[in-house]
Structures are given as C-alpha cells and as structure tokens.
A and B are shown apart, each in its own frame.
Chain A
Amino acid sequence: MELGAIATREPTEAEVIEALYERHHAEVYRLALRYGGGRVAWAEDVTQDVFVSLIGAVHRLREVEDLGGWFYRVTTRRCMTRISRERFRALAPVRWFFGNDPPEVERPDETLAKRSELFAALGALDALPPKERVAFAMHHLDGKELKEIGQVLGHSKGYVSKLIKRAEERLGRISS
C-alpha cells in the first residue's frame, strides 16, 4: 500500500505504518541481516521491531524529509543495541546468574549460506564489537562519511576513525 493511495482520506496510523513498511522494509531487513551475521530470524525480529515501534510516533515522521536515511539510522542503532545486549548476556557471570537461553535453532537455508565462502567473511564481521562492526560496515560497505557515522553512533569523527582502524586491525588478524 502506497502513501498516495490512501491520501484521499485521513489514513489511520496502521495504514501509514503499513505503507512505510511496504516502501522501506527491504532496506531495513538487509541491514538487519548484515549486522545479524546473516541470521534470518534475527533480521526478521529487528524488522518487526522497527516498524512496530512506529505506532504512536508516526506524526513525528511527517517532518522527516529523508525517510530512507531515517530508517537506515534507526535500524543501525537498533541492531547495535541488540548486538550489545546479546554480547552482555553471553558473558559468563550473566549466563550464570540468569541461566542459559535455549540455543537458537538455525534454519536450513542459514546453514547452507554459512557454508559458502561469502558468508565466511560475514562471520569475521560478526566477531567485531558492535560499535566497530557498525562503524566499519557503514564506512567500507555503505561508503558513509565519518561525520554521518558519528551521528549514528553518538561519537566524534576522531573516535569513529579510531573505531574503524581498530576494526580493520581486528579483521586483518582474523583473516590472516
């Protein structure tokens, strides 16, 4: 459903969100898949989170000119938060305190994909700390400027540069 199709009357909030989903979900899903290391269920969850969280906040989007850029930033931040939370939960003391989560069941298509050489590289990216992963991917894969990366991460250009350098060194060690 396109925004224009429902312009003849005042669209409901759900209709607006569905229209936004229609237009932007592919990009959101792609980013989620990247930062999730190719995990489909993880990416689907992130996609769902991004659009469901719009309920009650659609009116604020009317002032956003570049909706694509807005979804890019929101999805990246959401992925980074999710990765950080997962890494925290993976710490030994935390696992001991909260107990072990049941292991995620890997879907057959994911297993197949990971066998390929392409996804081996993605696995190396998955080994990076969240901020380094995001900074590296935004810089090398999406060609974003340091300033824009800094806006997403909430850091200065200098610190972003440092994060990218660290990520490069870490990836170099992994690949060698």
Chain B
Amino acid sequence: VNERTIEALKAADRALADQTISREADRRIRAQIRSLERRPTRIAPFALAAASFATGALCAAIWIGREARVVPPKEHLGLHAAEPTCQLESTSDRMTVGGTCLLEEEGFSILASNAVISREGAAVRVARGTATFDVAPVPPGKQPFRVLVSGGVIEVIGTRFVVIENGDRGRVELVHGKIRFIAESGDTSELSPGEGLSWPKAIAPIAPPPPEPLPVVEAHGAEPKPRPNAPPVRAPKALEVAAPPVEARALDSNTTAELARLRAEGRYEEAVSLLARLLDEPFEPRSAELLSFERASILDRQLRDRDRACTAYEAHRARFSGGRYDREIRERIEILSCGGNSPEGRE
C-alpha cells in the first residue's frame, strides 16, 4: 500500500470525525437509556427454569434431611440391632451385648443376652453369653449357616437353637429344625429337636432334657452339677410339687418379636408385665428360664429398679438354680448388693 492510499484513508477518517450523530439517533439513544431504569426486570426463561430447579432441590434437601433424622437401625458387624436401646459396645471385630438384644440380618436373627459376638466371614462366633438363633431354611446346595463356638462349629440348615458359651465350655440346645455340630476334633454330631450338646467333653448328643424344671432335676441328682463346689440348692416348694405341664410349649417368634418391639419402643414396664404373664403360662423349662432372666434383666438394666430386680434375680435363682444364667445372675446380685448381703452369705 502506498502513502497516497494511507493519506486518503486518513483524510476520509478525519472527514468522518467531523460528522456528528443525528438528532433523531441522539434522542432515541437517550430515551432508551432513560427507559432502561423504568423497564421492569424481565425474567429470562432460563431464570424461571433455574428458580424452579432451585425450589425442587430445596424441597428434596428438606425431605432428605427429614429422612436422615429418622435414625436407621444401627449396624454392628453387619448385624442390625433391632432395638435402638440395646446396650451394645461394638469394636471393629466384636460386639458386647449388655442385657438382651435382637440382632438381625437377612436370613437369620439372634436374640443375644449378655453375649460377646464376632463375625468371621459369613459365620457368627459366640465367644461368651447366650444367643438364641433363628435361621431361615437354607436352600439345598447353598452353604449352611455356621455358628462358631469354643468347642467347634455348628452348621445350621434352618432352625432355631440356643447357644450358651462360657468361654471355654458351652452348650447348644436345639428348639426345632436340624443342626450339625462339628467338634474341633472333627467328630460330628447331628441334633434333633429337643436335644442338647455340651462341649468340650461331650460330643454325643445328650438326651432331651426332662420336662421337670431344673431345680427339681438337680434336687434328684439326675444331672451332674456344673460346679462341684456349688452350694446345694433348695428348690421352692411350689416348684417341687408342681408337675411340669404336659402341653409345655417353646418360645415362639411372635412372642420374641413382641418383646423386641416393646423394648425398642422403650416400654419396659409393659415388657416386664408381659414377661410376668408369660411366666405363668406353661412354657418348657428353657424358654421359661429365658423369660425369667429377661424380666430380671429389664428390671435391672433398663428400669434400674434395684429392689424389683433383686427380687426377680432371687426368684430366678430359686426356680432355675444352676441354670444357664447362674453366673451372670450371681454377678448382678453382687453388684446390686441385693439384701445388703452377698449371695453366698444368704445361702
């Protein structure tokens, strides 16, 4: 481009600079500027959509927040504690149940009482305490549910049974269904309903317990006492004369669920009343023992009613002396200083 062209352009530009904006345009632009402030804010369509979305999101957040406030059942080692009031102390590998707790998982539930429970893969280990298992039938071809105890493994096909574990010795009692006990030595033993088995010594299933309550049995010397130095137990008169009811029944799942519900709702007095009524019914001895212990445990740990708890513990000991919960009850009686004397002192 030559200088002449650039000069011509500069001259044209200067000529343009001399031109001013027309009056009409000037008026129009000024009017438009002034009108801008008076113009109502136009809501853009996207703003409307954004506002709708924000409202929806807010509603969703409120709803989620309300849902989140509903406390879901606590999970411990993959087990849901059905009762929010359960006295559970849980670590990464084991849980300690104070009192009685209903623990649930798909396929089985555990009514654990003063127990220490851990998980080993799909299996459940009862390290200490009493645990009543209710296992849904296992389909053929699938791995059976396994409960690990100090004396071996209990394989479950689908049943209800009670495990009592004292650390180095224990016992399993089958309520109904079928279980197989595999001892550490490799010996296996299948149990039928009503049968029980103790470890570490006995591997053969023991005969079903006699229908009489435990104190009567012990008084007659039909079964060896677990502790040779235990003091002789005086069975209450009423139990000595009362013949076991022929139609004695086992604890059914409806009753267990009702008790669990009352516990979950914190209706402990009603639970105690229900247990008192149930104890008047003709339950088979082991169920009655569990119910009696449950009543005393609620009075002690949940209601913290020392006097009534002491009475319940004493009544339990009198009726089920040398029973499954004897050790726990002795400990509690000591802790509560029932009657101001040690249990040994009263005996």
List residues of chain A with CB under 8 Å of any chain B CB.
12-14, 17-18, 21, 25-26, 29-30, 33-34, 38, 40, 43-44, 47-48, 51-52, 55, 117-122, 124-125, 137, 140-141, 167-169, 171-172, 175
Contact of A44 with B25 at beta-carbon distance under 8 Å, contacts A33-B19, A121-B8, A175-B1 already known: yes
Task: Report which of A17, A34, A167 forms a contact with B16, defined as CB distance below 8 A.
Answer: A34
- B4's nearest neighbour on chain A, judged by CB, is A175
Residues of B within 8 A of A171 (CB): 1, 5
Q: Using a Cβ–Cβ cut-off of 8 Å, how many residues does chain B contribute to the interface with A? A: 28
List 4 additional A-B contacts (Cβ < 8 Å) besides A17-B36, A47-B25, A48-B32. A21-B29, A118-B12, A122-B12, A171-B1
Bound complex: CA A13 to CA B8 (Å):
41
Cβ-defined contact, B8 with A51, below 8 A: no
Residues of A within 8 A of B19 (CB): 29-30, 33, 40
Q: Confirm or deny: B10 has a beta carbon within 8 angstroms of a beta carbon on chain A.
A: yes
- A40's nearest neighbour on chain B, judged by CB, is B22
Cβ-defined contact, A172 with B1, below 8 A: yes
Bound complex: CA A48 to CA B24 (Å):
12
Residues of B within 8 A of A44 (CB): 21-22, 25, 29
Bound complex: CA A122 to CA B8 (Å):
8
- A55's nearest neighbour on chain B, judged by CB, is B36
Cβ-defined contact, A14 with B37, below 8 A: yes
Contact of A18 with B5 at beta-carbon distance under 8 Å, contacts A40-B22, A47-B25, A48-B29 already known: no
Which residues 302-323 of B sit at the A interface, judged by CB distance below 8 A?
Answer: none
Cβ-defined contact, A51 with B33, below 8 A: yes
Which residues 40-83 of B sit at the A interface, judged by CB distance below 8 A?
Answer: none
Residues of A within 8 A of B20 (CB): 26, 29
Task: Report which of B1, B2, B9 forms a contact with A141, defined as CB distance below 8 A.
Answer: B9
- A120's nearest neighbour on chain B, judged by CB, is B8
